[in-house]
């Protein structure tokens, strides 16, 4: 008899008020050659999941199970998947596979691979009791850290880390962080550990309080000017209106990196006010496995304070609704299987 599992799927994308997520029973997936089956303990909730549920990110398949910040354990191995033992603790992130042969993969830019596939978009993700992942795209995780503290590192942490690299923050530089959710609160800590001065700009009063607790030099409204010119900035809020605001806050030679897969339309830019004096605007596309490994190694050397809001698995739709309404401080996490808090 086929084993089944509980899962949430995006049935009809639309605003959270229309309940686009549906809880269902699905067959437990079989790992293909080179893949492992992972029993999910915890899955963190990403804004990309919200974009998929609400239709900002076009679904690539009907009834997709979202979720790509997964902590779990290998439950079974497909043919040829001999690198990971059953019981090994692993992390599953957004990047699921690449071709390994195109010019982007060969030059070390696998995040730009035209044939890349993504967890919770091209294949079912972690809003379920089990998922599969190619063994070469699973991260080994430490045993001594709570699952709910590790899960947000697997996308919020990794993407923030890449965005910081793309922003080219100089040593001891002044960084602006626009928006202060799951990814931003981790990225700010990476920058602080590197000796940066961090200024946070966000509309959330509770997020501003958290930013100051974590060591930010200032915390103001998203549309405020920071107290000093910025050497670099990262835009985490998916709000195109903030692009000219952040560019105008940059010092000469500064760089703004946009860390999101979806952004509302950017208003017209004024060359003199926003781009002249060699200011740079850059996007961030997914991540490489090297980015993920570097972030996890940094987290061992400089353990971040991972602020989470926990939800039982039965309330996955509420977690996304709260994220949409900015009611989540830090990262929302779903307690799926054995990864109970405490």
Tell me which residue of 76, 92, 83 sits closest to 42, measured CA to CA.
Answer: 92
What single string gives the DSSP state of each residue in 219-239? EE-TTSPPSS-EEEEEE-S--
Query: Same structural domain for residues 194 and 175?
Result: yes
In a domain, 295, yes or no: no
Residues 136 and 40 in one domain: yes
Q: What is the pLDDT of residue 342?
A: 29
Same domain, 250 and 227: yes
In a domain, 340, yes or no: no
Same domain, 44 and 130: yes
Q: What is the CB neighbour count within 10 angstroms for residue 265?
A: 8
Dihedrals φ, ψ of 148, to 5°? -70, -15
As a whole number of angstroms, the distance between CA 315 and CA 320 comes to: 9
Residues 237 and 313 in one domain: no
In this structure, the answer to whether residues 165 and 144 fall within a common structural domain is no
Within-domain flag for 51 = yes
Closest CA to 240 of 176, 283, 295: 283
Q: Are 12 and 150 within one domain?
A: yes
User: On the CB side of 20, how many CA atoms lie within 13 Å of its CA?
Assistant: 24
Residues 173, 149 share a domain: no
Q: Are residues 225 and 328 in the same domain?
A: no
Based on the domain organization, do 166 and 83 belong to the same domain? no
Tokens of 288: 């490489």
Q: What pLDDT does 2 receive?
A: 81
209 CB-side CA count, 13 A: 5
Looking at the structure of the chain, the number of domains it has is 2
What's the confidence (pLDDT) of residue 188? 98
Residue 325's CATH number: 3.90.180.10
- Considering the domain architecture, whether residues 121 and 249 belong to the same structural domain is answered as no
Same-domain check for residues 121 and 175: no
Which pair of structure tokens corresponds to residue 113?
Answer: 């691979």
**Model's pTM, two decimal places?**
0.92
Residue 293: inside a domain, yes or no?
A: no
The low-confidence residues of the chain, meaning pLDDT below 50, are 339-342
In a domain, 244, yes or no: yes
For residue 21, what are the β-bridge partners? 10
Contact in structure between 182 and 330 (CB atoms under 8 Å): yes
Task: Give start and end residues of each alpha helix (H) in the chain.
Answer: 47-54, 103-106, 147-150, 156-167, 182-193, 205-214, 242-249, 289-301, 316-324
Q: Quick check: 159 and 262 in contact, CB under 8 A?
A: no
User: What is the predicted pLDDT for the residue at 105?
Assistant: 98
Supply the Cα-derived Rg of the chain in whole angstroms. Answer: 20
Tens digits of residue pLDDT in 61-71: 899 999 999 99
Tell me whether residue 135 is exposed, middle or buried, using C-beta atoms within 10 angstroms of its C-beta: 0 to 12, 13 to 18, 19 or more: buried
341 falls within a domain: no
Paired with 138 in beta bridges are: 92
Number of other CB atoms surrounding residue 116 within 10 Å: 20
DSSP 100: S
Assess if residue 297 is contained within a domain.
no
Residue 123 domain-assigned (yes or no): yes
Structural domain harbouring 175: 157-283
pLDDT of residue 338: 55
| CATH assignment of the domain containing 235 | 3.40.50.720
Final residue in a domain of this structure, among 240, 268, 283:
283
């Amino acid at each position: 008899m086929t084993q089944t599992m509980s899962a949430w799927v995006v049935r009809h994308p639309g605003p959270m008020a229309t309940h686009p997520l549906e809880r269902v029973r699905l067959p437990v997936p079989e790992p293909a050659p080179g893949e492992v089956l992972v029993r999910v303990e915890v899955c963190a909730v990403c804004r990309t999941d919200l974009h998929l549920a609400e239709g900002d990110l076009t679904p690539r398949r009907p009834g997709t199970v979202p979720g790509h910040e997964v902590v779990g354990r290998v439950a079974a191995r497909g043919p040829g998947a001999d690198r990971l033992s059953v019981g090994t603790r692993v992390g599953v992130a957004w990047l699921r596979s690449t071709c390994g042969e195109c010019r982007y993969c060969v030059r070390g830019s696998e995040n730009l691979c035209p044939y890349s596939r993504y967890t919770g978009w091209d294949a079912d993700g972690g809003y379920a009791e089990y998922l599969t992942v190619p063994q070469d795209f699973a991260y080994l995780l430490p045993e001594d850290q709570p699952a709910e503290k590790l899960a947000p590192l697997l996308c919020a942490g990794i993407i923030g880390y890449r965005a910081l690299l793309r922003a080219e923050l100089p040593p001891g530089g002044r960084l602006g962080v626009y928006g202060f959710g799951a990814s931003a609160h981790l990225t700010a800590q990476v920058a602080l550990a590197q000796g940066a001065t961090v200024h946070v700009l966000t509309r959330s009063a509770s997020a501003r309080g958290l930013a100051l607790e974590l060591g930010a030099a200032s915390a103001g409204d998203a549309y405020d000017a920071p107290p000093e010119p910025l050497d670099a900035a990262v835009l985490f809020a998916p709000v195109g209106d903030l692009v000219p605001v952040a560019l105008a806050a940059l010092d000469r030679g500064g760089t703004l990196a946009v860390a999101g897969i979806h952004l509302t339309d950017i208003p017209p830019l004024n060359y003199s006010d926003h781009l002249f004096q060699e200011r740079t605007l850059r996007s961030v596309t997914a991540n490489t496995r090297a980015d993920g490994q570097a972030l996890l190694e940094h987290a061992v050397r400089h353990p971040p304070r991972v602020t989470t809001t926990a939800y039982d698995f039965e309330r996955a739709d509420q977690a996304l609704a709260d994220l949409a309404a900015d009611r989540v401080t830090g990262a929302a996490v779903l307690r799926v299987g054995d990864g109970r808090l405490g």
